[in-house]
Amino acid sequence: MNRSQAPIGLFDSGVGGLTVAAAIKKVMPNESMIYFGDTAHLPYGDKSKETIVQYSLSIAEFLLNKGCKILLIACNSASSNAFKEVKAFVGERAEVLNVIDPVIEFVGKDTSHSNIGVIGTKATINSGSYHDGIRKLRPDTEVSSLATPLFVPMIEEGFIFDDISNAIIRAYLSRSELKDIDSLILGCTHYPIIMNQINRFFNFKIDVLDSALIVAEKLKLILSEKDLLSNTINARHQFFVSDHTDYFEIIAKMFFGEKIELQRTMI
């Protein structure tokens, strides 16, 4: 197989990374993808670094065995805790990208914001990846971080656009940590699903960054630089999960934007 025609491999702790897959489909419709959602172990946000690394390496091996030309860690918790380990494990066999660095790079070039908020899982926020990365590029910028651990299980269980989700969103976003922000980074690939509710909470007065689209654009640039962009018009996608329920099929459609078939496989 021509290397450029090989699939993009991406993984997340659940189906949240499908928001990134949807952005990739929009930006690069000719690219085939193989997605792995580690639904048997979600959420990653309350796991130790060692456990997240262990899960991530197993999934990376699975995707490499599928012949993927690039691996995208489509999970903020895994990106902040296991990127270096995955990159070392993969070596020269494929390119590796995470979902944090492209956003930091994007924000670092955008001087229109001076008080940036970041929300994510405990694992992501405690790692300090966004805070330290942004401050390194723009030392004069205020970065306020807040762990919002209930968002992932809330979304995975389908509590969206209802009184329960609105109450949880309001409880977190009204915290003093986010009081004076002028922009907000959604530091979890699940969070774009509730982006409209977050915008409404802030009365559309701050910029809520679509990190999925930022990551997809960066991925396209890397593939172009490596001469790995696909020119096929017959893109094929496969979706694997480590545990399966009928409900995951339903919520996966909402994340990806179209009906998909999830295949259960153990790693």
Same domain, 200 and 155: yes
CA distances from 11 to 8, 18, 34, 71, 227 (A): 10, 9, 8, 8, 23
Same domain, 217 and 206: no
Same domain, 118 and 206: yes
Same domain, 87 and 218: yes
* 182 has a pLDDT exceeding 70: yes
Least confident of 147-151, 156-160, 195-199: 156-160
How many domains is the chain built from? 2
Mean pLDDT score of the chain, rounded to an integer? 93
Please indicate whether residue 75 is annotated as part of the active site: yes
* CATH code of the domain in which 27 resides: 3.40.50.1860
- Output the pTM of the full model: 0.91
Same domain, 88 and 218: yes
- Boundary (domain end) residue, out of 172, 190, 210: 210
pLDDT at 258: 85
Same domain, 226 and 149: no
Q: What is the DSSP letter of 2?
A: -
pLDDT at 247: 73
Q: Which of 33, 74, 75, 123 is catalytic?
A: 75
Same domain, 200 and 245: no
Same domain, 140 and 181: yes
pLDDT digits (tens, 9 = 90+) for 238-260: 999 999 877 777 888 888 888 88
CA distance between the termini of the chain: 25
Share of the chain above pLDDT 90, in %: 79
Confidence of residue 173 (pLDDT cuts 50, 70, 90): very high
The Cα 212–Cα 43 span in angstroms is 19
Question: 159: which residues sit within 8 A by CB, 6+ positions away?
Answer: 165, 168
* 1 has a pLDDT exceeding 70: no
* 221 has a pLDDT exceeding 90: yes
pLDDT digits (tens, 9 = 90+) for 14-73: 888 999 999 999 999 999 999 999 999 988 988 999 999 999 999 999 999 999 999 999
Q: Which of 188, 198, 213, 216 is catalytic?
A: 188
Question: 4: which residues sit within 8 A by CB, 6+ positions away?
Answer: 69, 227, 228, 229, 230, 231
Same domain, 92 and 113: no
Residue 130 tokens, joined = 């966004």
- Boundary (domain end) residue, out of 166, 187, 210: 210
pLDDT digits (tens, 9 = 90+) for 74-92: 999 999 999 999 999 999 9
pLDDT at 82: 97
pLDDT at 127: 94
- Boundary (domain end) residue, out of 191, 210, 229: 210
Same domain, 202 and 217: no
Domain residue limits at 9: 3-98+213-264
Please indicate whether residue 68 is annotated as part of the active site: no
